[in-house]
Chains A and B, each alone.
Chain A
Amino acid sequence: MTIAVVGGGLAGAVATLALAERGAEVVQIAGPPGASALAAGAFDLAAASPGVPWLAARDALRGNALSALERLALLLWEAPSHPYARMFGRDAAAAASAARAGIAALSRWLAPHGAALQGDFAASALLACSPGTLRPVDFATPGPAGGDLSACAEIALIDAPGLAGYDARFTARGLAAELAALGLAQKPVRIIQNVWPEGLLDAQPASVAARLDAPAAGEALARALRGCGGAGCVVLAPPVLGIARTQALVAQLAEAAGCAVAEVLSFPPYALAGYRFERALRAAVRASGARVIDGRVRALHAGQHGASHELAIETRTGAQQLAARALVLATGRFTGGGLAPSDGEVREPLLGLPLHDAEGRRIDGIPAHRSVRKGYATWQPLYTAGVRVDPQLRPLAPRGEPAAERVFCAGELIGGFDPARERTGLGVALLTGLAAAASAAQALQ
């Protein structure tokens, strides 16, 4: 009674872990990294959202903040095409309890690998981004998690001369401007210089981070930071605090500094947070006992009338066939390969599922450029598009009936929302991954 999970990002990993925990026979076809691996380290369940037009994007920053669960509840009313609304209708209590269970499960799975999320359902943390902007965040990975600036008394930035993509003075200038623009209390911002042990710093964030995985290097940096903080201070570091042991290193540095230490949120190609996150997820899946095939599904034949689904998988060592009784599709959107432009038109390549934008228009079979609009910040149909699902996360055919038996969708493959603008890609991946796993398990009972 095998269940196949297709996709190696957060949604696929969560579905696999949930099924393994239920004792199901699950195979994850992980494939190459997708959008999760590019994450900045923030994890939002339901960010202040353009799906909620009257809720300004930065209200959370201006102090009239809604909690994550309140925003989740709002979304159910205001954005009926959103995957959350598909799953929970307008039942805010059900959404809230799913969110709590999801965060708890993810933390349980990631904790042994030093990657547990930190955060709070009641209040957003205000984290600093590398350009000096502020961002309200529900949860965060261990690197940036300690950097909440909302209540701090002082900000100190670690200088890192020559490091690509990071400039402490620039970030400091930006933070001062952001605090002023938002009408928040000004805080002293200072730069901490000359902390890097000899031979540790160069231009490449990834190589600096790899060097900091060596305990001796971490200790040397901790010595240099000794006593640099003070009560109420937050020390912000470039996003290079290790790869395999970030959580331990951040704790070690915080203890030395005498205050919170956190990385600034940073973005590809200078971000390592997503890479660390995916690394920990893969470790968790391995530890769960689930079988993992590192490959791509080349062809998928959906079984009808109770027959098994047939998957043709291509791996580095050759082709494989797999039969599965149920299927979780967590293939992502364009970055993950779940949607692909072929012959100039946008399609879902595995099952040819119909694709809809957030306003319900079909966009599959149409050239990509016809589904975009002028204006970068405006609503873009192409980037809200994906598979439409029912509350069990079954993909729907054009007339609204399930498009296949025992097939369930998770993550950004599901359309109806814009992960970039709403920043809820990871939150959706988590809740839909869990729900798809539950639906798949139930379908086989």
Chain B
Amino acid sequence: MTQLLRTRVLVIGGGINGTGALRDLALRGVPCMLVEKKELGSGTTWASSGMIHGGLRYLQKDPEVTRHSCVDSGAIQRIAPHLVFRIPFLMPVFPEDPIGPEIVEIGLEMYDRFVPLKNGRPHTRLTREQALTLEPALSPRIDCAFTLDEWGIDAARLCAANALDAVEHGASVFTHSEAVELLREAGGRVVGARVRDRLRGDETTIEAELVLNAGGPWGPDVAELAGEKLKLRPGKGIHLVFERRVSNLAIYARGVDGRDMFTFPHEQNSMAGTTDDDYYGDLDKIETREDEAAYVLEAMERSIPRVRDHRVVHAIQGVRPTLYGFGAYEDELSRDYRIIDHGQEGSAPGIWTITGGKLAAYRLMAEDVTDRLCGALGVDARCRTAQLPLPGGEAPLDHAQLAKRFGIGIAAALRLGFRHGARAPRVLGGPNGQRTVCACEPVLEAELRHAAASEGLRKLVDCPLRMRLGNGACQGASCAAFAAQVLADELGWDGARAVREVAELAAARWHDVAPVLAGQQVAQMEIHRAVFFGMIGALEVLP
């Protein structure tokens, strides 16, 4: 049974580039659809540092990337103020560092020129004593330290917000739906795709005037469907996620090879990373390796000597769709992006690719590619994504008032407000909505119901991305069954499906925990196993 749908632009890939372009198209009144083979933002976007930072490290070689990032960071703060949080950075300078404080400061003075674009404060120089007072966890071996300003964001939620806004402006989004074949006209023109729903198993044909390949690292696979070759230099990056905040400021650290990394507070946790290594493996089976984790911790230990006392709960791993370049180390590759019209540059008219780039400049990239697609479609409409707020960004939210009005805790109000902004009161509605499902985050039942009923959430295993459920120390042991109850009710799952969803979540969390299992998390996962094996009688449903 094949359903037929028609649209003008079909976007393949639901990461930040795909959802960003979809929103831009929809706001310009272009009928459009998006297919994503897993969950929105579940690939590269989820594995990013979750920062719309200016890219200090690109200043030297790619100043345009830095400028783009800073300009767009300012725009993102305007349209989604609720999703963004300030992360002050501390950059320690050690006696043995090859670049002394004076040179570092010259770089920061240059960066200061870009910083106002993203509402950051200029750098300050701190003495050793000042830095240690500000951040006692810092190594006492430092000479001095600098501060600078960056911004964090919930990247997966940013994807969901873009998709949501697009849908509200007429677009359609299909998650867990994979483009398995591109439709070709006799002349070779790409005119849509055959899409398979990976959960239901049925297929839909989507006819479109243009197809946009926003597959990120999977982009070459999508291009291949059109017989096109797309060469990237995929770069794997991992982050370690700590149980709680290790420090209040983000702290720069340097790897044994001299690479810059950092430990930074992010939402309820701290993260440390990231690595950048050429990746040739299976994109659907990316795993953190022991040596990657050791490399990151070794770097962090130099800046924060007691970092190993903190509990690493899990790792996050992903692959960047870095533009191809020969003969350069990973870090030296350009972070710029490219838009390819495969009709011009290859022999598959009707399909375009956007790839490369930085999360911080996603909106500018979307604007650029949408300008080009609109040109090809003959649509004359201006980009409005920098002016119109994303869902929730319409007005500031009074968290205390929200907590009082709905009788919820202030922590829950803050976290709900963080993801839903001005729309938080809309989320809290139905009966029992105030029950806490996940205590680590915390997540309320109402948010889970809202995501299933109104935001297209289809699987329990996607909840860690959508609302950070199951991301805390217990890794879903406390909340998975409860959350499955709520989703079963909303989505009409039968008991067997609900149990399968619980088992899948348990297995997905293990995948991210096992490679970095150490310390107290070993006991935590012992309890995790007792809970899941205890509640799921049927071992055979466990993946």
Contacts and interface: CB of A to CB of B under 8 A. Distances in A.
A178 to B, nearest CB: 6
* Chain A, interface residues (CB within 8 Å), range: 35 or more
A141 interface: no
B518 A341 contact: yes
Interface in A409-428: 419-421, 423, 425
Nearest to B519: A341
Interface stretch (B118-126, B382-390, B429-437): B429-437
Interface string B453-490: 00000000000000000000000011001101110110
Given A58-B537, A177-B496, A423-B533, A376 B506 contact: yes
Contact of B543 (A165, A170, A335, A376): A376
Interface string B22-61: 0000000000000000000000000000000000000000
Interface in B491-543: 494-496, 498-499, 502-503, 506-507, 510-511, 514-520, 522-523, 526-527, 529-540, 542-543
Nearest to B436: A164
B489 A167 contact: yes
Contact of A377 (B502, B516, B537, B543): B543
B267 to A, nearest CB: 22
Interface residues of B, number: 53
Interface in A289-335: 333-335
A420 B526 contact: yes
B530 A420 contact: yes
B451 to A, nearest CB: 18
Contacts of A335: 523, 526-527
- Majority secondary structure, B binding face: helix
B435 A203 contact: yes
A215 interface: no
A205 to B, nearest CB: 11
A170 B489 contact: yes
A387 B485 CA distance: 40
A178 B543 CA distance: 18
A24 interface: no
Contact of B485 (A136, A167, A333): A167
Given A133-B499, A269-B478, A374 B514 contact: yes
A164 B520 CA distance: 26
B290 interface: yes
Contacts of A337: 523
A36 B477 CA distance: 17
Nearest to B293: A369
A57 B538 contact: yes
Interface string A145-180: 000000000000000011011010110011111100
Contacts of B481: 130-131, 165, 267
B530 A35 contact: yes
B542 A131 contact: no
B506 A61 contact: no
A40 interface: yes
Given A133-B499, A173-B494, A420 B537 contact: no
Contacts of A258: none
Interface in A247-271: 265, 267-270
A383 interface: yes
A32 interface: no
A368 interface: yes
B540 A57 contact: yes
Interface string B175-214: 0000000000000000000000000000000000000000
A272 B542 CA distance: 26
A376 B542 contact: yes
A217 interface: no
Contact of B523 (A130, A268, A334): A334
A16 to B, nearest CB: 24
B537 A135 contact: yes
A270 B484 CA distance: 15
B496 to A, nearest CB: 4
A346 B519 CA distance: 9
Nearest to A126: B537
A35 B354 CA distance: 52
Contact of A173 (B495, B517, B529, B539): B495
Contact of B535 (A203, A267, A269, A368): A267
B314 to A, nearest CB: 11
A161 to B, nearest CB: 7
Contacts of B538: 57-58, 133, 181
A132 B535 CA distance: 9
Given A335-B527, A346-B522, A376-B507, A369 B477 contact: no
A134 interface: yes
Contacts of A391: none
A372 B287 CA distance: 14
A402 interface: no
A346 B543 CA distance: 27
Contacts of B485: 131, 167, 170
B542 to A, nearest CB: 3
Nearest to B287: A374
A369 B517 contact: yes
Interface string A342-378: 0010100000000000000000000111101111110
A50 interface: yes
Contacts of B522: 334, 341, 346, 368, 382
A56 B308 CA distance: 42
Nearest to B478: A269
The 5 closest A-B pairs by CB, nearest first: A177-B495, A174-B495, A377-B542, A334-B523, A420-B529
Given A42-B534, A133-B538, A377-B507, 18 more contacts: A35-B530, A38-B530, A58-B539, A135-B537, A169-B489, A265-B535, A344-B519, A369-B516, A369-B517, A372-B514, A373-B514, A374-B287, A376-B507, A376-B542, A377-B503, A382-B517, A382-B522, A423-B533
